[in-house]
Amino acid sequence: MPGLATMSLDNMFCTRCGDGFEPNEKIVNSNGELWHTNCFVCAQCFRVFPEGTFYEFEGRKYCERDFQVLFAPCCGKCGEFVIGRVIKAMNANWHPSCFRCEECNVELADAGFIKNGGRALCHTCNARIKADGLLNYMCHKCHGVIDGEPLRYRGEVYHGYHFTCATCGVELDHTAREVKHRPGYAANDVNNLFCLRCHDKMGIPICGACRRPIEERIVTALGKHWHVEHFVCAKCEKPFHGHRHYEKKGLAYCEQHYHQLFGNLCYVCNQVIAGDVFTALNKAWCVHHFACSVCDAPLSTRSKFYEYDERPACRRCYEKFPAELRRRLRRAHHYTIRR
């Protein structure tokens, strides 16, 4: 460690508050960062760290208790905090030893798993259950065994040949579509089965992700229709739920990942900046849009501009501001410099 004693107190400052240290004051040195003893505290509870133990996250230090409360995920099985390796699966977090096949109880963390009817299964159990399932479908009407895929209707399984298309009368198979809601119809009038061809003609839109009909809220984007919950960011797969999305090469992204993958968005046109980027005042501009926010006159890197609510105002505009506003802006400017 570069000896503390050899450093001059004059250029030693507390990492948290920025103030200097008194001679003979006790100084905390953590990985070369210096702190007042009072400042070396948990970012959440402001208490000193019990036994000096702290957890660091995004540049902040937390005591063990607060770190767990704030950031450590809870195991989906035992409910304890997961410290160390976290298995993220089935929309939950798990200790590696808690995430097991729901049939044979083998650990899945390293072997991988398959989602089957909302359950996490090992490859062996999944294969067995799938085979059993195909063999064991029993028709709800005739109680006979169904070979191959069954037709699903009002929550039951049937042989397709017990039904005909509500429009054209053709005998149905497992590809038949059940329609539950249709705008302008009562539920009982539409709870019916149709062959694929007639279903398509009814104009019920098909989701671009799951290829199933969309009978409730619909999103239209990228030239396709989507279930609200199936129109998702191509990177994080979270649904946009009406939030703005950004398109690139036929894919949609959330703002965060669009930024992350493709760079800055221009403050004016809100498009990704392909060429040169002007950055100032925590914002970015494309070449065409770097301009005074009051008069729209173009600015260049060499233009002098004034900051006005974290936007640039050109000299001409600044001079046309009411005198009392200029006075207040000058005072605010001094404040920022002092800071």
Partner 1 sequence: MSHQPPVSCIPNTGKMSKAKKVIEEAKENNNPEIDLVDKGLSSLDEIPGLFSLANITRLSVSHNKIQVVPAALANLANLEILNLANNYITELPVSLSSLPKLRILNVSLNRLNGLPRGFGSFPVLEILDLTYNNLNEKNLPGNFFIMDSLRALYLGDNDFEYLPAEIGNLKNLQILSMRENDLIEVPRELGQLARLRELHLQGNRLVVLPPEIGSLDLASNKSVLRLEGNFWVPHIEDQLKLGPSHVLDYLRSETYKVLYSRHMSAKPAPPPQTLDKSKKASRAA
Window of 3-11, 88-96, 151-159, 321-329 that interacts with partner 1 by CB under 8 A: 321-329
Interface with partner 1, residue 63, by CB under 8 A: no
Query: Residue 100 or 245: which CB sits closer to partner 1?
Result: 245
Hey, which residues between 161 and 220 contact Zn ion (CB under 5 A)?
165, 167-168, 170, 195, 198, 207, 209-210
Q: Which of 232, 178, 235, 182 shows the shortest CA–CA distance to 209?
A: 232
Contact pattern for Zn ion over residues 315 through 334, marking x by CB under 5 A: --x-----------------
- Within 8 A by CB and 6+ apart from 256, the residues are 236
* CA–CA separation, 191 and 153 (whole Å): 9
Residue 51 binds which entry of Zn ion, partner 1, none, CB below 5-8 Å type-dependent: none
**How many angstroms from the chain centroid is the CA of residue 93?**
16
Whether the CB-CB separation of 53 and 64 falls below 8 Å is answered with yes
Q: Which of 81, 80, 76 shows the shortest CA–CA distance to 102?
A: 76
Interface with partner 1, residue 325, by CB under 8 A: yes
Interface with partner 1, residue 125, by CB under 8 A: no
DSSP assignment of 194-250 equals E-HHHHHHTT--BBTTT--B--S-EEEETTEEEEGGG-B-TTT--B-TTS--EEETT
Residue 195 binds which entry of partner 1, Zn ion, none, CB below 5-8 Å type-dependent: Zn ion
21 burial (CB, 10 Å; 0-12 / 13-18 / 19+) is: middle
Backbone angles phi, psi at 327, to 5 degrees: -60, -45
- Within 8 A by CB and 6+ apart from 53, the residues are 63, 64
Q: How far is the CB of 337 from partner 1 (least distance, A)?
A: 13
First to last CA, the chain: 32
Interface with partner 1, residue 307, by CB under 8 A: no
Q: What is the 3-state secondary structure (H, E, C) of 64-82?
A: HHHHHHHCCCEECCCCCEC
Window of 91-99, 134-142, 232-240, 323-331 that interacts with partner 1 by CB under 8 A: 323-331
- Interface residue with partner 1, options 4, 7, 12, 45 (CB under 8 A): 45
CA angle 120, 123, 129 (to 5 degrees): 75
Residue 338, SS3 per DSSP: helix
- Interface residue with Zn ion, options 41, 75, 172, 190 (CB under 5 A): 75
One-letter amino acid for residue 229 of the chain: E
Hey, which residues between 248 and 307 contact Zn ion (CB under 5 A)?
254, 257, 266, 268-269, 286, 289, 292, 294-295, 297
Query: Residue 57 or 161: which CB sits closer to partner 1?
Result: 57
Query: Residue 44 or 124: which CB sits closer to partner 1?
Result: 44
Q: How far is the CB of 127 from Zn ion (least distance, A)?
A: 27
Q: How far is the CB of 83 from Zn ion (least distance, A)?
A: 11
Window of 65-73, 98-106, 116-124, 217-225 that interacts with Zn ion by CB under 5 A: 98-106
Give bridge partners of residue 279 from the DSSP assignment: 284
Q: Which of 32, 28, 12 shows the shortest CA–CA distance to 20?
A: 12
* CA–CA separation, 170 and 177 (whole Å): 13
One-letter amino acid for residue 117 of the chain: G
Residue 142 binds which entry of partner 1, Zn ion, none, CB below 5-8 Å type-dependent: Zn ion
Q: How far is the CB of 281 from partner 1 (least distance, A)?
A: 8
**Binding footprint of partner 1 on the chain (CB under 8 A):** 16-18, 43-46, 60, 242-244, 255, 268, 270, 282, 293-297, 309-310, 316-317, 320-322, 324-325, 328, 332, 335, 339
**Binding footprint of Zn ion on the chain (CB under 5 A):** 14, 16-17, 36, 39, 75, 77-78, 95, 98, 139, 141-142, 144, 159, 165, 167-168, 170, 195, 198, 207, 209-210, 227, 230, 233, 235-236, 254, 257, 266, 268-269, 286, 289, 292, 294-295, 297, 314, 317
